[in-house]
Structure 1
Amino acid sequence: MSDSASKPRPQFRNISVPQILSYRLPLAGKTSILHRISGALLFLCLPLVIVPLFALSVTSAETYAGIQAWVSNPLCKLVLLALIWGYLHHFCAGIRYLVLDLHIGMDKHSAQKSAGIVLGVSLALTVVFGLKLFGVW
C-alpha cells in the first residue's frame, strides 16, 4: 500500500456563501453559466410569454393593436429586453459551442477569447435591439 493511498481524503464541509461568492470563474465558465441561464429563460418563457404573444399577434388586426398597446408599457419592454438578451446570448454561445465541438479553439487562450467575443457580440446586439425596442430610432 502506498503512502498516498493511506492518507485520508480531505473533506470539505460547511462551505459558506461568502466562500462561494469569492470563487472566481474564468470568462469561459461565466459564459457557460449564462448560456444555461439564457436557455432556461427561453424554455420557461416559451409557453408562458412567447407563444401566447405570437398567437395573439396573428389572430387579427385588433389583437395585434392590443399587443402593441400592451408592449408600449416600459415594464413589458424590460421583460422583452431580457428575452432578447436571452435569445441573442444563447444563439451566440451556441455557435461557440458548435465550433468547440469541431475541436476548434480548444486551448485556454482561444477559449477565453471566444468567450469574450460571445459576451461582447451578444451584449452589443442586445443594445442595438434594445434601442430599437425603446424607440430611439
Structure 2
Amino acid sequence: MGKTVKKQRPVNLDLQTIRFPVTAIASILHRVSGVIMFVAIGILLWILGLSLSSSDGFSAAAAMMDSFIVKFIMWGILTALAYHVIGGIRHMLMDFGYLDETFAMGKLTANVTFVITVVLSILAGVLVW
C-alpha cells in the first residue's frame, strides 16, 4: 500500500489551558455585543411602546425604570452598545487603511478598545444610576 502518515493531534484537549490572543477575544466580544444589541432592540421597543401607550403606561414604564434589575439591564445594553461602536470604529479604521493590519497594531487597538469601553461603561453606570 502507501505510507502511513502520523498525524500530530492532541490526545487530551484541555480547554482550560487554551489562551486566546487579545485580538480573538476582541473579535468574539464584538460579535457577542452585536447579539446583545439585537435582543436589546426588542426590550427597548417594548418599554417605548409601553411608555407611549397611555399616561398609565408611561407611569408603569417610569416605575419599571426604578428597579435595580432594569437599571442593570440598561447598563448592560449601554455597555454592549459602547463596545460594539468602539470595536466597529476600530475595524473601519483598519479597513480604510488608517491603521496597520499587523498583529502588534491589532493587539494595541484591541486593548485601547477595552480601555475606552471600560470608561464608557463607568459613565453609563453613572447615567443609569
Which category describes the TM-score, using the shorter chain as reference length? 0.7 to 0.9
C-alpha contact 1:56 1:63 (8 A) present in aligned 2: yes
Which of residues 54, 71, 79 in structure 1 aligns to 2:73? Answer: 79
TM-score, reference length from structure 2: 0.85
Structure 1 residue 13: Cα displacement:
5.4
Distance 1:6-1:102 versus aligned 2 partners, 3 A rule = farther
Residue from 6, 9, 12 that aligns with 1:8: 6
- 2:126 is the counterpart of 1:128: no
Return the alpha-carbon distance in structure 2 between the equivalents of residues 68 and 121 of structure 1: 30
Aligned length: 126
2: CA distance, partners of 1:62 / 1:8: 72
For structure 2, the 5+ residue unaligned runs are: none
TM-score, normalised via structure 1 length: 0.80
How far does residue 61 in structure 1 lie from its aligned partner after superposition? 4.1
| C-alpha contact (below 8 Å) 1:35/1:93 kept by paired residues | yes
TM-fit CA distance, 1:6: 5.8
Deviation of 1:22 after TM superposition, in Å, equals 2.1
Q: Secondary structure at the match of 2:53?
A: coil
Q: Which runs of 4+ in 1 moved over 4 A?
A: none
Distance 1:61 1:22 in 2: 56
Using a 3 Å threshold, how does the CA distance of structure 1 residues 13 and 60 change in structure 2: closer, same or farther?
A: farther
Distance 1:101 1:68 in 2: 42
Q: Which runs of 5 or more structure 1 residues have no equivalent in the other structure?
A: none
Q: CA deviation at 1:14?
A: 5.0
Sequence identity percentage: 19
